[in-house]
Every structure is written in structure tokens, then in C-alpha cells.
Structure 1
């Protein structure tokens, strides 16, 4: 599922801009996976209470996805200004 072991990204020093971009890409991928998983699971849940819970969580993940995308776009636009 993930192309990078997330624990290998944890360390004592700050990320470089490029490492931050990679961390955001990883987070975006994880959010997309989570959205798809929760929506797929909801399809097979008959109890409306539980189905709604999974769909609500998928919606929250979409919010996270949007936040990560906005940050990545911001970093990319900063990079282009410097070039």
C-alpha cells in the first residue's frame, strides 16, 4: 500500500522542502487509500448506523486529502517562484 516505510521518515531533524513534498505525497496516497477502503466497506454494511459511520469517516478523510493537496500545491508554487 505505501511506497515508503512511514517510520523511516521519523527522525530528529526537520524535513527538507523536497522531503516535505514526499511526506505530503505519502499522506495524500494514504488518505486516498482510506477513502476507498471506507467507501468499499460501507457498500457491504446493511446496518444504516454503521454504514453512515464509515461514509462519515470517508468524508473526513476527503477533508484531510484537500488539506494535504493545498499544502503540496503551495510548496510547488513556492518552488516555481524560486526557479
Structure 2
């Protein structure tokens, strides 16, 4: 997936705010892919120690999603608004209320 990103390493000028936001979205997708890979792989590993490591790494990738999301929300106020709207719609339709920061 990352090989398809159009951001060139040899650039003459810094990335624009929108290009950074786009890169953060790609990074989030990559982390989500990694989470799925590690969790799926863990299901098929017989060795419990190896399974534990894959599940631990999957948890770490979730933290990376949070880090990239925090940066994205900093750069893209529209994303903040739409994210809030999405949370509210889920609560309205299902009664499920999600508060960030609660485990």
C-alpha cells in the first residue's frame, strides 16, 4: 500500500498542510491494516508465546492510530466536526455513547 503513495521523497518544498493530512490518513490506514494482520495471524499460531507477542504488537498499533489521529484532528478541523457528528449519529441510532479516554 505505501508504495502507491504519490508523495515524493525528493521534494523541493515542504509538504502542505493538506499533504500532511493526507499522509496521516495513509498512516492511519497502514496501522489499521497492521492491527488486522497481527490479530489474524495470532489466531492461527499454535505457540502461545508467539501469539502473545502478535497480540501485544496489535495493541501497540492501536496507540499509533491514536497518535496519528490526534495529529490529523489538529490539522483538519472539518475532520473533528465530522467525527463528532459520527459519534452523535451512532448514539442517536443505537444508544451507544462512546467517550474517548474511557477504557
- Equivalent residue number for residue 50 of structure 2: 50
TM-score where L is the length of structure 2: 0.67
Secondary structure (helix, strand or coil) at the match of 2:76 reads helix
Could you tell me how far 1:11 is from its partner in structure 2? Answer: 2.6
Q: Distance in 2 between matches of 1:68 and 1:52?
A: 25
User: With CA pairs under 8 Å and 6+ residues apart, which has the higher RCO, 1 or 2?
Assistant: 1
Match of 1:71 in 2: 71
State the Cα deviation string for residues 27-63 of structure 1 (Å, max 9, x = none): 0000000000000000001111000000011011111
User: Structure 2: which 5+ runs fail to align?
Assistant: 81-103
State TM-score, norm by structure 1. Answer: 0.82
Greater fraction helix:
1
Aligned residues of 2:73 and 2:79 also touching (Cα < 8 A):
no
Shift of the 41–29 alpha-carbon distance from structure 1 to 2, 3 Å rule, reads same
- 4+ residue runs over 3 A deviation: none
Greater C-alpha radius of gyration: 2
Deviation, 1:77, is 2.1
Give the total of aligned pairs. 78
Cα deviation, residue 5, structure 1:
2.0
